[in-house]
């Protein structure tokens, strides 16, 4: 396992009982430039036009990756934050639903989707569906942490690249 691991706090029962929350705050504080470099590794950047960051930790990581690679950045936000024209994708949570939105796209770009943690995969699946709806081809999905015991994304053939696998 990577030396980054010692900078990640595992916080039991946050934000809900039974969830072990991976707090990347110390890692961002101590090793940010190396983390961004590591998240860019293993991606063919010649096949990427934009980085899409998922609100809100995906903004921190994705924007820095876009800067490092000389690419544009597209925010994917929670419902109601972006002005029209937006397109939306609603997905099921344990209790209820959540909705992700993007500004409607006309450019047919190829993108890297970025978030901090891949857990059950509901968020990333919805994010990928939203990109497809928006004429954006997902070249890679870059996560800092993949909780592989909660999803089978790699086995299912998703283009997942992660720095730390648990």
Catalytic (active-site) positions: 57, 94
Least CB distance to ligand AMP at residue 121 (A) = 5
Query: Per rule CB under 6 A, is residue 121 in the interface with ligand AMP?
Result: yes
Each residue 48-67 as x (binds ligand AMP by CB under 6 A) or -, in order, gives ---------x----------
Cα angle for residues 125, 128, 131 (degrees, 5° grid): 150
Pick left, alpha or beta for residue 8 (phi over 0 → left; psi -120 to 50 → alpha; otherwise beta).
Answer: beta
Least CB distance to ligand AMP at residue 108 (A) = 26
Q: Which window, 43-51, 110-118, 128-136, 156-164, contacts ligand AMP (CB under 6 A)?
A: 110-118
User: Distance (Å, rounded) from C-alpha 54 to C-alpha 116?
Assistant: 9
Which has the closest alpha carbon to 118: 83, 161, 156? Answer: 161
Q: Which window, 42-50, 74-82, 120-128, 133-141, contacts ligand AMP (CB under 6 A)?
A: 120-128
Which has the closest alpha carbon to 66: 52, 77, 47, 56? Answer: 52
Query: Per rule CB under 6 A, is residue 77 in the interface with ligand AMP?
Result: no
The answer to whether the Cα torsion of 155, 158, 164, 166 is positive or negative is negative
What DSSP state is assigned to residue 69?
A: H
Judged on CB neighbours under 10 Å (0-12, 13-18, 19+), 12 is exposed
Least CB distance to ligand AMP at residue 54 (A) = 6
Q: Which of 59, 122, 133, 159 binds ligand AMP (CB under 6 A)?
A: 122
Least CB distance to ligand AMP at residue 148 (A) = 11
Query: Per rule CB under 6 A, is residue 146 in the interface with ligand AMP?
Result: no
- C-beta closer to ligand AMP: residue 88 or 119: 119
């Amino acid at each position: 396992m990577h030396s980054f691991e010692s900078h990640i706090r595992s916080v039991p029962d946050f934000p809900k009982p039974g969830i072990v929350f991976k707090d990347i705050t110390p890692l961002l504080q101590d090793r940010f430039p190396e983390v961004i470099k590591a998240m860019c590794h293993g991606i063919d950047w010649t096949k990427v036009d934009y980085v899409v960051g998922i609100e809100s930790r995906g903004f921190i990581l994705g924007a820095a990756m876009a800067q490092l690679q000389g690419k544009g950045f597209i925010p994917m936000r929670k419902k109601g934050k972006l002005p029209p024209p937006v397109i939306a994708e609603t997905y099921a949570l344990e209790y209820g639903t959540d909705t992700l939105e993007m500004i409607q796209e006309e450019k047919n770009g190829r993108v890297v989707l970025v978030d901090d943690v891949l857990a059950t995969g509901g968020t990333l699946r919805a994010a990928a569906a939203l990109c497809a709806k928006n004429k954006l081809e997902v070249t890679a999905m870059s996560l800092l942490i993949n909780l592989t015991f909660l999803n089978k994304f790699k086995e299912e053939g998703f283009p997942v690249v992660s720095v730390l696998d648990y």
